[in-house]
């Protein structure tokens, strides 16, 4: 039920809306004309689309049969779209032609087209910026690569140095061990020699003991001889005996002490040397073991070093490859730079042209401003003069009015003067008449006019 009502209502609504749209558009078209609608290139398409009102109008408000209305509607719609397509195709061709012309003009260097600047500003400048950014990126990458290469090289050098140092140290250690071995041998020899010397010393000591024994015997002999002498000298004998005993004791003591000391020292030295020798022997053994262990340790290190050397070589080859790539990139960059410089030159030329144009326009603008100022000044002066003239004219008018009033006053005074003159004339005439009357009274026969007579009579009457 709702749909049954809604369907015709919506149809009418559609027609009304289309009618409003068509009315608005056609009114706009009438107001502005064909040239006024030129900013919108497809204004004809709007006009044709607005004409879609017709088929729907036929469909809703026609008195024809339903079939004819349907066919008519479809036919009109087809016609409208056909015309729309024709218009759009024409417009498309025209616009594309115009665009190609613009683009061709852009390519011509001699023509200063405003789009050239826009093109330069909107397309060339961002591209240049991108190029600069790419250049900077490449430079950064190059710097990074160089730094990395340097770091790798320094690390490799340091490793090489380390390895060399290790090798030197191991060589030194080897030498040291050999030297130590030699030293231990020499020390052994020297200890043997020292033993021999100690034995010789012992023999000397024995010899000394023997000699002392001999001396003792001699002394005993001498003592016996002395006993004989002591007999002679009893006091002295005891003393001598004491002395001899003391001396003997001392000698024994000393001899024993020296023998024991020398023996102790010799044995101590021998033991010490033996201990040293043992320690040295142990050290040598430990060193041998250490050398063997280090040799064992060095062999994987050497392998590692060799591996690293290979890696370094491979890295170096990679670095060389990268270097070649970088060189290529640099060459490309240089080409790009050349291109850019060319483009920059062109841009600079364009800028210069634009600057010239701007300067010309600015100078023209300045001239126009100056002319405007002069014109304004003149205008102001003219206005001032106009106002002065207005003032003068108003003053003139005032003066004119004053003069008119003056004239009027003069005219009135003239009139009054004329009247006064007439009056005076009359009075003079009357005075003359009075004189004449007095004369005629005296001289009979003078003819008197009727008028003075009447006035005279009247005056006489008043009196």
Using CB under 8 A as the criterion, which residues of the chain lie in contact with other proteins when the complex forms? 3, 6-7, 10-11, 13-15, 17-18, 20-21, 24-25, 28, 32, 36-37, 39-42, 45-46, 49-50, 52, 56, 67, 70-71, 74-75, 77-78, 81-82, 84-85, 88-89, 91-92, 95-96, 98-99
Cα R_g (the chain), whole angstroms:
76
Q: How far is the CB of 125 from other proteins (least distance, A)?
A: 20
Q: Closest CB to other proteins among 71 and 125?
A: 71
Q: Residues near 337 by Cβ (< 8 Å), separated by ≥ 6?
A: 135
DSSP 124: I
Q: Residues near 422 by Cβ (< 8 Å), separated by ≥ 6?
A: none
Q: Closest CB to other proteins among 58 and 226?
A: 58
Q: Transcribe 369-425 into DSSP letters.
A: HHHHHHHHHHHHHHHHHHHHHHHHHHHHHHHHHHHHHHHHHHHHHHHHHHHHHHHHH
Q: Closest CB to other proteins among 28 and 458?
A: 28
Q: φ and ψ at 113, to 5 degrees? A: -90, 140
Q: How far is the CB of 122 from other proteins (least distance, A)?
A: 13
Structure tokens at 47: 């006009």
Q: How far is the CB of 65 from other proteins (least distance, A)?
A: 10
Q: How far is the CB of 139 from other proteins (least distance, A)?
A: 38
Q: How far is the CB of 4 from other proteins (least distance, A)?
A: 10
Q: How far is the CB of 63 from other proteins (least distance, A)?
A: 17
Query: CA–CA separation, 101 vs 107, rounded Å?
Result: 10
Taking the C-alpha atoms of 170, 174, 175 and 179 in order, what is their torsion angle to the nearest 10 degrees?
Answer: 140
Closest CA to 170 of 282, 285, 281, 302: 302
Q: Closest CB to other proteins among 95 and 186?
A: 95
Q: Residues near 227 by Cβ (< 8 Å), separated by ≥ 6?
A: 237
Query: CA–CA separation, 149 vs 321, rounded Å?
Result: 13
CB 80, CB 55: distance < 8 Å: yes
Query: CA–CA separation, 247 vs 253, rounded Å?
Result: 9
The tokens 């060095």 sit on which residue?
A: 298
Backbone dihedral region for residue 449 (phi beyond 0: left; psi -120 to 50: alpha; all else: beta): beta
Query: CA–CA separation, 228 vs 213, rounded Å?
Result: 22
Q: Closest CB to other proteins among 73 and 273?
A: 73
Q: How far is the CB of 90 from other proteins (least distance, A)?
A: 10
CB 45, CB 53: distance < 8 Å: no
Query: CA–CA separation, 448 vs 432, rounded Å?
Result: 12
Q: Closest CB to other proteins among 24 and 389?
A: 24
Q: Closest CB to other proteins among 3 and 447?
A: 3
End-to-end distance of the chain based on CA atoms, in angstroms? 128
Q: Closest CB to other proteins among 11 and 196?
A: 11
Q: How many other CB atoms are there within 10 angstroms of residue 20's CB atom? A: 11
Q: Closest CB to other proteins among 101 and 299?
A: 101
Q: How far is the CB of 124 from other proteins (least distance, A)?
A: 21
Q: How far is the CB of 10 from other proteins (least distance, A)?
A: 5
Q: Closest CB to other proteins among 85 and 417?
A: 85
Q: How far is the CB of 15 from other proteins (least distance, A)?
A: 8
């Amino acid at each position: 039920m709702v749909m049954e009502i809604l369907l015709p209502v919506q149809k009418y609504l559609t027609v009304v809306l289309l009618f409003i749209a068509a009315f608005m558009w056609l009114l706009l078209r009438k107001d502005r004309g064909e040239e006024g609608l030129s900013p919108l290139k497809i204004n004809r398409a709007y006009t044709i689309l607005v004409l879609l009102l017709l088929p729907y109008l036929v469909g809703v408000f026609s008195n024809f049969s339903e079939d004819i209305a349907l066919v008519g509607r479809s036919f009109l719609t087809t016609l409208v779209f056909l015309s729309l397509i024709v218009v759009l195709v024409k417009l498309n061709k025209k616009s594309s032609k115009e665009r190609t012309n613009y683009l061709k003009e852009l390519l011509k260097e001699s023509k200063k087209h405003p789009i050239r600047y826009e093109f330069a500003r909107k397309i060339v400048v961002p591209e240049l910026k991108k190029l600069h950014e790419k250049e900077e990126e490449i430079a950064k990458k190059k710097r990074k690569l160089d730094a990395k290469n340097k770091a790798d090289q320094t690390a490799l050098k340091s490793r090489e140095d380390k390895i060399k140092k290790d090798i030197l140290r191991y060589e030194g250690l080897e030498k040291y061990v050999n030297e130590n071995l030699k030293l231990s041998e020499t020390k052994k020899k020297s200890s043997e020699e020292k033993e021999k010397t100690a034995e010789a010393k012992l023999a000397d000591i024995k010899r000394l003991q023997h000699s002392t024994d001999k001396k003792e015997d001699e002394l005993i002999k001498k003592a016996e001889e002395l006993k004989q002498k002591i007999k002679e000298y009893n006091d002295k004998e005891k003393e001598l005996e004491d002395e001899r005993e003391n001396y003997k004791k001392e000698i024994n003591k000393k001899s024993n002490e020296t023998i024991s000391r020398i023996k102790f020292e010799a044995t101590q030295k021998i033991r010490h040397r033996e201990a040293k020798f043992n320690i040295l022997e142990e050290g040598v053994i430990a060193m041998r073991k250490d050398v063997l262990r280090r040799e064992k340790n060095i062999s994987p290190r050497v392998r590692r070093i060799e591996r690293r050397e290979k890696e370094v070589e491979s890295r170096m080859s990679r670095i060389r490859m990268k270097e070649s790539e970088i060189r290529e990139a640099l060459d490309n960059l240089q080409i790009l730079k050349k291109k850019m410089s060319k483009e920059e030159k062109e841009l600079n030329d364009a800028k210069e042209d634009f600057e010239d144009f701007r300067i010309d326009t600015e100078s023209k603008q300045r001239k126009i401003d100056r002319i405007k100022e002069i014109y304004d000044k003149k205008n102001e002066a003219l206005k001032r003069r106009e106002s002065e003239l207005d003032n003068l004219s108003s003053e003139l008018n005032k003066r004119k009015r004053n003069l008119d009033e003056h004239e009027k006053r003069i005219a009135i005074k003239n009139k009054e003067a004329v009247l006064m003159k007439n009056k005076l004339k009359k009075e003079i005439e009357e005075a003359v008449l009075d004189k004449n009357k007095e004369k005629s009274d005296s001289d009979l026969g003078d003819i008197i006019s009727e008028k003075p007579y009447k006035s005279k009579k009247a005056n006489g009457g008043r009196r």
